[in-house]
Amino acid sequence: MPPSFDSSAASHRPGDWRTIARLLPYLWEYKWRVIIAIACMVAAKSANVGVPLLLKQLIDAMDVPAGSAQALLVVPVGLLVAYGALRFANSLFNELREFVFSKATHGAARSIALATFEHLHRLSLRFHLERQTGGMTRDIERGVRGIESLVSFAFFNIVATLVEVLLVLTVLGNKLDIGFALITLAALVVYVIFTVAVTEWRIQFRRQANQFDSAANTKAVDSLLNYETVKYFNNEAFEAQRYDTSLQQLRSAQLKSRTSLSLLNGGQQLIIAVGLVAMLWRATQGVVDGRLSLGDLVMVNAFMIQIYIPLNFLGVIYREIKQNLVDLDKMFTLMDRPQEVQDRPDATALTDLATPTVRFENVRFAYEAERPILHGLSFEIPAGKTVAVVGPSGAGKSTLSRLLYRFYDVQEGRITIAGQDIRQVTQASLRRAIGIVPQDTVLFNDSIAFNIAYGRTDASQEEIEQAARAAHIHNFIAAQPQGYATTVGERGLKLSGGEKQRVAIARTLLKDPPILIFDEATSALDSANERAIQAELRAAAQGKTTLVIAHRLSTVVDAHEILVLDAGQIVERGNHQQLLALNGRYASMWALQQQST
């Protein structure tokens, strides 16, 4: 997971505006929908403000003798039809606004989620080895959900309320006197300042709750992914205690948030009550003095109700907007995580793959600066030949495949394929040219057919079965009740180690690339199956440039050249017979393995 984002940074206005500015281009892709939605919002608020004005006119007009024809005309027709029309117009324009703008909101959320997903796949292996999957996925989930809430709250609540307030202040100033507008404005300013101040103080509790929520989710996901390990060491109670600790912290933060919410709501109601009393006192006094009519009093009361009802939710809305900005900024921070391995602007596709000779030229590499792994490594895998690398654990063997795939870039020296520095070609074309059977095979929680076809997603069923036969797993699959539709479970745990390995071999054979890497490809197989698959691997490697990383020396005796790696350096090199004749490190390893078998 990337370095923890300091959520306090989002409490400052520049950070919030920066987050909003990054969101706007995604919404502006639907600019006509945005413009139409704004027009519908203004129309809805205009209709809403028109209702108190209509009530004033109708009440003032009803000062007629009881039972007269004029009263009958005013009440049934004027009040019911006009009032109902304005109410309906308000609802109609609100629904039209939602209908028009929903595509923009969901479209922006989809675009940002997809961009984040694609960016995560572009990040280096280093990032994915350090991440905490549970917390990261929770951040993405909250960020996507926050987009829809942010747009709804900020645009349709805050902005719409401000539009209505401006309209009401204008009407009060023109229809009555400036005193009404000033009282209303003063109450609104005090209300907003109080709400913002208390909400800024309260937001810390919501951030803490989110942090503890992510921590709890991370522990739960890690524990469930490592279910077998938990069982091996009888640590169910320990895992439950770790999870419960995070839940207790989450509960404490949520209680603080709820308590502070009561303080916010009480203060808001007090401000609203004082403002409302001041407005009605001034309006009542105006009626008594003869300056205002009963219709004016009703209009003032209706305006205050219409304004203060949405203001009742301002604290909640503002808090949600702030939290949505924090959640969205976390996702944008994830998107801003720099790519360690990037294509150069002038990168070209890898070519000349008919003769893909691979060269490591004075390669130096370290995962961490203080712990170098490879020390000036140089060797060549001729086109169509097989070179094997053997040596003790930690010698740097698997690092070779990671560098060849450009999961990392070398610090010094270079790696070339067909004479082309792999840092100067596109990663997509490079990885299309290479197939790997890794030592630790992880499968998707999908069918066996899906996992084999992952080597070439457009492969036919016949080609999938052909690859399975070549990997000696077709008979096992055919014996399953669901055949190739059999699901393999999370990370392939429903299959044995040998079965997973053979699925990995099948999908690499299906890919049929010009360069092959076998990283302990038969380590999980028994001796009989190993001999059978070794023959298939040799057949698959015919005419291909192949790097074999092995622990069991019996699997590499036919290699064109064998490199003995120790502490990141080649200590011996030659074919099997030449290395035995040297009577050195390789010969000692061979003797020990022969004795063990």
Q: Which string of DSSP letters, residue by residue, matches 348-403?
A: B----TTS--EEEEEEEEEEETTEEEEEEEEEEE-TT-EEEEE-STTSSHHHHHHH
Amino acid at position 503, single letter: V
How far is it, in rounded angstroms, from Cα 596 to Cα 260?
A: 70
Nearest to 140 by CA among 394, 333, 429, 378: 333
Q: What is the value of pTM for the model shown?
A: 0.63
Nearest to 317 by CA among 250, 264, 252, 274: 264
How far is it, in rounded angstroms, from Cα 327 to Cα 329?
A: 5
Q: Which 3 state secondary structure label does DSSP give 277? A: helix
Give me the CATH topology for the region 7-335. ABC transporter transmembrane region fold (1.20.1560)
Place of tokens 């739960």: 220
How far is it, in rounded angstroms, from Cα 517 to Cα 530?
A: 17
- Reported as a single tens digit per residue, the pLDDT across 178-229 is 877 788 788 888 888 888 888 778 777 777 777 788 778 778 877 887 776 7
Span 345-433+513-597 CATH architecture: 3-Layer(aba) Sandwich (3.40)
pLDDT at 6: 37
- Reported as a single tens digit per residue, the pLDDT across 431-474 is 888 888 887 777 888 888 888 888 888 888 888 888 888 888 88
Handedness of CA 66, 72, 78, 84 (dihedral sign): positive
Higher pLDDT residue, 532 or 332? 332
Range 442-511 classified under CATH 3.20.20.140: no
What is the signed CA dihedral for 64, 65, 69, 73, rounded to 10 degrees? 30
Helices (H), 123-235: 125-130, 133-153, 160-175, 178-225, 227-232
- Reported as a single tens digit per residue, the pLDDT across 574-590 is 888 888 888 888 888 88
Give the percent of the chain with pLDDT over 90: 1
Q: Which 3 state secondary structure label does DSSP give 514? A: coil
How far is it, in rounded angstroms, from Cα 160 to Cα 314?
A: 12
- Reported as a single tens digit per residue, the pLDDT across 288-330 is 777 777 777 777 777 777 777 777 666 667 767 777 777 777 7
Nearest to 348 by CA among 414, 435, 417, 434: 417
Spatial contact of 590 and 553, defined as CB atoms under 8 Å apart? yes
List, edge to edge, every strand of the sheet that includes 569-574.
434-437, 515-519, 545-549, 386-390, 561-566, 569-574
Q: Which 3 state secondary structure label does DSSP give 409? A: coil
* Lookup: tokens for 549: 């990383």
How far is it, in rounded angstroms, from Cα 219 to Cα 95?
A: 42
Nearest to 487 by CA among 497, 477, 472: 477
Domain edges within the chain:
7-335, 345-433+513-597, 442-511
